[in-house]
Amino acid sequence: EPEVTQTPSHQVTQMGQEVILRCVPISNHLYFYWYRQILGQKVEFLVSFYNNEISEKSEIFDDQFSVERPDGSNFTLKIRSTKLEDSAMYFCASGSVERGGRRNEQFFGPGTRLTVL
């Protein structure tokens, strides 16, 4: 069964450094998302990406964050200058669309645990 994959599984970085989190969505999906989950808390939406552009972003997704789909398969989240409060599990998700535009379920990847020291 196709699944969303993410690399790395764990990233440790120093405050102020740039990190890139990578995701390979399910191949025929058209909607891509990044969510994050701070330890012990709920899952929070960061950004959605459709038709090669950001379709919606949350207040968390400030100028330090960017997303890209550089080659038609990978979907990346870049944090330019990490802060301590960026430490969280970051999940990539992808979803398909039915004929007529109805959106389907979203499947989550295994996550990247980001630790900012």
Partner 1 sequence: QQPVQSPQAVILREGEDAVINCSSSKALYSVHWYRQKHGEAPVFLMILLKGGEQKGHEKISASFNEKKQQSSLYLTASQLSYSGTYFCGTEGAGGTSYGKLTFGQGTILTVHP
Of the candidates 10, 43, 73, 81, which one interacts with partner 1 according to CB under 8 A?
Answer: 43
Is 106 near partner 1 (CB under 8 A)? yes
Q: Which stretch binds partner 1 (CB under 8 A): 12-20, 50-58, 61-69, 76-84?
A: 50-58
Of the candidates 45, 64, 65, 76, which one interacts with partner 1 according to CB under 8 A?
Answer: 45
| Contacts (Cβ under 8 Å, ≥6 apart) of 115 | 10, 11, 12, 13, 87
Beta strand 112-116 pairing with 10-13 = parallel
Residue 84, phi then psi, degrees to nearest 5:
-55, -40
Cβ neighbours of 73 (radius 10 Å): 10
Is 56 near partner 1 (CB under 8 A)? yes
| CA neighbor of 69 nearest in space, from 6, 4, 18, 25 | 25
Q: Report, in Å, the least distance between residue 73 CB and partner 1.
A: 20
Residue among 6 and 82 whose Cβ is closer to partner 1: 6
- Residue numbers of the site for partner 1 (CB under 8 A)? 31, 33, 35, 42-45, 48, 50, 55-56, 58, 91, 95, 102-111
